[in-house]
Every structure is written in C-alpha cells, then in structure tokens.
Chains A and B, each alone.
Chain A
Amino acid sequence: MKVLVPVKRVIDYNVKVRVKSDGSDVDLANVKMSMNPFDEIAVEEAIRLKEAGIATEVVAVSVGVEKAQETLRTALALGADRAILIVAADDVHTDIEPLAVAKILKAIVDEEQPQIVLAGKQAIDNDMNATGQMLSALLGWSQATFASEVKVEGDNAIVTREVDGGLQTISVKLPAIITTDLRLNEPRYAKLPDIMKAKKKPLDQRTAADLGVDVTPRLTVVKVAEPAEREAGEIVGSVDELIAKLKEAGAV
C-alpha cells in the first residue's frame, strides 16, 4: 500500500520565538526552521511500515513556501520515496490554515490514492491540532488521532491513542488518517549518504491554484502579542523558608 505523509516546515522547537514590535506576527526572518517534530515521527512510522513490508511506497507532501523543499528533502533522506510540494504562500509569515491544507491534501489523496495518511497531531507553530481530523472529514474516512501504537491487520489499522486518563485502542477501516503522538516512535537521523541520495529523488512542485484550492484565510489575525510576563520570584535558602513563604501566601 501507499502511505502519504504530510510534513510542515516550522520554526525549530528550540528557538525562543519573539513577537514583532508591530504586533503583526512573530518574527520568522533569519530564524532556524525545521521539520515539525510530530511530522518526523510520522515519517519514521511510514518508513517502519515500509521496512515491515506493509507499505510499498512512502510519499511526503508539504504545503507552504518554496523553501519547504528543504523539509521534503529531509523526509526523502529519511527514507521517503518521492515528494510533492504545493506552493501556496510567498512569504514565510503566511501560515496556510488547516482547512485549506486539508483541502489541498484531499486533492493529493484523490490523485495518489494512499491507504494511510500519517500526519503529526499538531504543528508546534499554530498549535491547532486539526489538519488530520479535517482531512479525514473531507474524505469521509476513518481517523485515529494521537497514536502511540499502530498495527496494520488486513483491511484495518489497530491504533492505540493517548487520551485524557490513559490509553484507548480502536480499530479503523482503511483507508484511514492516523495522527502521531510523541511516544509513537523515536525518529532516526538522516545519514550523510542518504542526504546526498535524497537530492536525486523526485520532487514534484505545484501550486494551490493548480489544484483549484482557495487558500484565503477564514481567520484574520488581528494582532499577536507577548504573553503576560510573570513577576520575578525569589530564591529561598531552605525548606523551612519555602514552607513559611507558602504559608504566608496562603498556598498551603
């Protein structure tokens, strides 16, 4: 079967973001960008399905600016067979909304006919946690979100999900959308020879307009602000002093 893996280019998770002084957005100029960590987990799981003889082809797809090519090359270096880039924005500050991304992905799914779409559970920039579910709705497919274990058995995937209060295991009919949680796997690193080979793997580039998808945002960003800063605290010298302070504050 074919597995499609959507990957997003986002600000690196270690970077401390700064809000622009005009309050229009966070500053993404000259900031290190990387593959969204949940998408690395999705790529890893797809490659493991291939190594297990379940997946025959892994296709990585990204939606965004032209530079998202780099993110797709990373996916190719990790083991994806080919990549599709849908250019939908000119500027790195234009974040295409999950609904539009889901519509673009639906068009790709209609062409590629994968049996599984493996996506990250959320992107660490917009923290939406929505694209996988939206794609599933548009396709009328089953969905298994926040996966910590995936087993493919015949025409079903048995997926253990991380939910409030513990774990839930469900069986979903294929084709299905599966979104990855942190504990699904430990992503591998790309090896240098594989990075070189990835440069020769196919990368098909198109635009949102080619697919007939309108990417006009439904939500207008009015402003972006710094969160309220906490007042500076104090360092106490002992457990006794700590308890005294907490009693004084009425916290214990």
Chain B
Amino acid sequence: MSVLLLAEVTNGELALDATAKAVSAAAQLGEVTALCAGASAAAAAEQAAKIDGVAKVLVAEDESLGHRLAEPAAALVASLAGDYTHIVAPATTDAKNIMPRVAALLDVMVISDVTAVVDADTFERPVYAGNAIQTVKSGDAKKVITFRTSTFDAAGEGGSAATETVSVPASEGLSSWVEDKVAESDRPELTSAGVVVSGGRGVGSEEDFALIEKLADKLGAAVGASRAAVDSGFAPNDWQVGQTGKVVAPELYVAVGISGAIQHLAGMKDSKIIVAINKDEEAPIFQVADYGLVADLFEAVPEMTEKL
C-alpha cells in the first residue's frame, strides 16, 4: 500500500494542521508521500518533510499551480497516480474542488469526508448532515479520499523525509485567477482552534457580534457563526460552522444565540464540551449541550467575559 497525499498549500505556505491530521489518517493505509504543489512550494515541502509519518515529499512548482485552480492541480495529481493505491487529502475547500476531478480522471469514485479507516478498502463517512454514519467498501483499484480533519489527531513533527521535484503537466489554461479576498484574522484558525465561540441569529446585528468576539478573545478562541448569522450579514461566510460550512471539533464549543438546527449541529456536535447560551429553553441546542444556560445573551455574555 502506498499513499499519495495532496498537502494543503496556500500561497506557498503549508497549512500544517490540516496536512498533519490527514497524514495521521493516511498513515493507517501505508507509506505516505506528500505532494506540495504551488507557484512556489519549496518552503511548504521543507515543512511537510518534518511531519512524522511522511516518507517522501514531492515538490511541484509551476505558475499554473499558483492559485489552487482545480484543472491544473487535478491533472498533476492524476499524472502521479500510477504509483499509488490511495490518493488522499484533508477535506478542505481546495481538496473538495480538486479530488473529485482527480477521481473522475482515473474513473474511480471519490470517498468524501472520511472519519474513520476500517481497512485499506473500507471507510466510515457521515451522511445526512451527520445524522447517519455510512460504512462503505470500495471496489475501485485506486481509492481517492478526503479526510475530515476534525476527527484525526495531527501527526507530530520530527521526521526528515527526502524531497524530490516532479514535472508538471502543461496547463490547458481553462481557468484563471482574478483575485482573492482573504479575511484577515489574528485569531486561531476555526478548524484547528481548541476553543470556538459561535454566534447565531439571536445576536441580532453585526455590531453586537462584537460581544461574541470579545468572549472569544478572552478564551483565545476562534469565532464561528451559524448560517442564519452569516446570511443576515452579522459575520463573514468563512466563519460558518455546519453541514455546508466548516466542521469543527474543539475541546470547548460555546454556542450563543444559536437554536441548533440539524445543519448547524452537523458542524460541531463532535466537540468535547458544548456550552449553549440561549433565552429559549426549548431550543434544540440544549439537547446536545453539556452545560446550558437559559439567559439573555446580552447580559450573560458580557458577564462571562468579565468574570473569566
């Protein structure tokens, strides 16, 4: 068994947490070769080489790979696929964009958001917004997989894998990058944070979302949001936690003014400790919360921020 892992590389930098978690998942399948692709990827490759469990690092540098466009990235991965039984990646938006394309190029199915490896052919994955766990056995010669990072521990550092440069297929120029609008944040990254404080519709306005942010900063937490809060313009899209946003599993998840719709629970119900603050005692969020406080968030949240 040999595994090709598409490392998460953004603007030349390795997303260490997502990649290290995917490495620990992939290591259950065989020897892991990490692929770092980008307009520049050497620095990312150097870092990937240090992740425990990475046996080799492939570096692919080309202008066409600069902005994580699916077409050239998928062509690259497919061109390298011959040597591997498993082709895997962390289930980030980049990988979800690229990996199904890779799978179709190889005429195999993709296995999305895998949460557990049973054996080399058999995997668990959540379906129906996490309300059922499906165990699937693949009959394909090659397995193309994305791993849900929130369910795997990050592999440690201390390795010293060799790096090797690989050639990049000529780009067909089907798409081109125009611009990125990156949300600047000094806070921990949402999917790897140990604590997450999320606000919902109950917060009421963009201005009042500052209450959530203050509590988050006090806890050294990342800020999340429900779909309702994002749709109402209280918080940016990339803060959304849920079936269609990010899936998190921090040590502590504090849900403020969030009712707890199925779609939101899909993104956070594997958190270790869930706290809910909501004035509606009937809110479904209380059914999954370890500690619930039925209170007006405009009083409880500032009080909590002050007393911590």
Contacts and interface: CB of A to CB of B under 8 A. Distances in A.
B175 A134 contact: no
A17 B128 contact: yes
A220 interface: yes
A136 to B, nearest CB: 6
B174 A127 contact: no
Interface in B44-77: 67-71, 74
Interface in A90-113: 97-99, 102
B183 A130 contact: no
Max chain B CB contacts within 10 Å: which of A140, A182, A240?
A182
Chain B, interface SS category: mixed
Nearest to A237: B293
A211 interface: no
Contacts, number: 252
Give the size category of B's interface with A: 35 or more
Interface of A: 11, 13-14, 16-17, 19, 26, 97-99, 102, 121-122, 124-138, 140-146, 148, 158, 161-173, 176, 181-183, 218-227, 230-231, 233-236, 238-240, 242-243, 245-246, 249, 251-252
* A-B pairs, 4 with minimum CB distance: A130-B100, A137-B104, A142-B174, A133-B100
Given A143-B70, A235-B281, 4 more contacts: A16-B131, A136-B104, A168-B68, A224-B133
B170 interface: no
11 contacts: A99-B109, A102-B104, A142-B175, A165-B183, A219-B136, A221-B135, A231-B290, A233-B289, A234-B292, A239-B293, A239-B304
B231 interface: yes
B105 A162 contact: no
Contacts of A226: 132-133
A233 B252 contact: no
Interface in B219-278: 219, 227, 230-231, 236-238, 243-244, 246, 251-252, 262-263, 269, 272-275
Chain A, interface SS category: mixed
Given A99-B103, A164-B246, A233 B69 contact: no
A236 B182 CA distance: 39
Contact of A168 (B104, B112, B130, B180): B180
B10 A165 contact: yes
